[in-house]
Homo-oligomer: A and B are copies of this chain.
């Protein structure tokens, strides 16, 4: 359909990007460095992180139709693509725009400064040999990158077959992506423990998650209701938010609906239209989302700087360093509360206590930097002035204000 070409970046997209890069490199980066932010919360941002196209991650049990769905969006096959009833896709594939068809292997991809995949280095060769980019000239890829993934398997099979930590990798892609599609098969609904784990790893990125109930045309209406109901019943328990996830019901491939599904043709068509609009609005709203992501990061940077300097101040000058460190880690939750009170940091900005406790064990607290008035003012400024100003630029309409992270 013609509407699939209508996708466009917003007019001020490039101006906003420029401003974001300036704010990050001139103000935030210095704070991150002084307080070893990257050693706790992931790598320093690169140019490619800002300039990357919106990414859509597809997740699901094997054979639910992830690869077929991508083919449907592209209106063509992508290099290396394989579709089939058995577990077929055996790797992560970033399907990207290219005038020529080309496959770029994971190891090469992870060192390409122009690509936002530098972070995959941490998963080592065992992962990188199961990761590639597939370039092809589908027009939708001019504005979007799609990430195909291997289907989740159950139990032993998954553990034996994979030499890398699937859930960790999913978590990394989820944080980098703009939209996460969870695909389910209405004809064969199944949420294995492994998939449940992967879904749980999306926590914190709930706002990006959408659900696709695929192959809906293969069951009759009453069966569809039972399957859909069971899906929502179970998902609500895994994703703990009270807000209900948007589910798109339909059959997302190039073939006509199966006879059983004919009676819901109108519904499936309407849902397909909505899903495509959701996808195609990504570039248009990309500027807002990039500001939003940097706000999230700036909040964490500010909080992190306070945590590190706070721990530094609590260290003794001479003796008892190890004991003090152990005690501080042990009582980290209490220290967080103190920081919250002293520096008026919202509790929601703090990182996960357990993970922070783990990470802190590896550091020498007396080497931490003390607080710096200048830097603390600088990051406060980013949050109270620079980013809100940019936010105004990207949210002219009131309807978008509900996404305003400052509210």
Whether the pair B244, A225 counts as a contact (CB closer than 8 A) is no
Encode contact with B along A234-253: 1 for CB under 8 Å, 0 otherwise.
11110000101101010000
In the assembled complex, A233 has its CB within 8 A of some CB on chain B: yes
Residues on B with beta carbons closer than 8 Å to the beta carbon of A244: 226, 229-230, 233-234
Q: How far is the CB of A384 from chain B (nearest CB, A)?
A: 37
Interface centre among A222, A231, A236, A247 (most CB of B within 10 A): A236
CA distance A264 to B266 in the complex (A): 11
Across the two chains, which residue of chain B brings its CB closest to A221? B267
From 197 to 243 in chain A, residues with beta carbon under 8 angstroms from any chain B beta carbon are 221-222, 225-226, 228-237, 242
CA distance A11 to B233 in the complex (A): 39
Residues on B with beta carbons closer than 8 Å to the beta carbon of A235: 233
CA distance A403 to B270 in the complex (A): 42
Q: How far is the CB of A348 from chain B (nearest CB, A)?
A: 21
Q: How far is the CB of A236 from chain B (nearest CB, A)?
A: 4
In the assembled complex, A263 has its CB within 8 A of some CB on chain B: yes
Residues on B with beta carbons closer than 8 Å to the beta carbon of A266: 221, 263
Encode contact with B along A252-288: 1 for CB under 8 Å, 0 otherwise.
0000000000011011001100100000000000000
Across the interface, A237 reaches (CB within 8 A) one of B236, B263, B274, namely B236
Q: How far is the CB of A288 from chain B (nearest CB, A)?
A: 24
Across the interface, A234 reaches (CB within 8 A) one of B221, B236, B271, namely B236
Whether the pair B249, A225 counts as a contact (CB closer than 8 A) is yes
Residues on B with beta carbons closer than 8 Å to the beta carbon of A247: 225, 229
CA distance A264 to B228 in the complex (A): 16
Residues on B with beta carbons closer than 8 Å to the beta carbon of A228: 225, 228-229, 232
Residues on B with beta carbons closer than 8 Å to the beta carbon of A233: 232-233, 235-236, 244-245
CA distance A266 to B242 in the complex (A): 32
Residues on B with beta carbons closer than 8 Å to the beta carbon of A249: 225
Q: How far is the CB of A248 from chain B (nearest CB, A)?
A: 10
CA distance A267 to B220 in the complex (A): 9
Interface residues, chain A, CB within 8 Å of chain B? 221-222, 225-226, 228-237, 242, 244-245, 247, 249, 263-264, 266-267, 270-271, 274
8 closest Cβ pairs, A-B complex: A232-B232, A233-B236, A236-B236, A230-B244, A233-B244, A221-B267, A229-B232, A232-B233
A-B contact list, 16 entries, CB within 8 Å: A221-B267, A221-B270, A222-B267, A222-B270, A222-B271, A225-B228, A225-B247, A225-B271, A228-B229, A229-B247, A230-B232, A232-B236, A233-B233, A233-B235, A236-B236, A236-B237
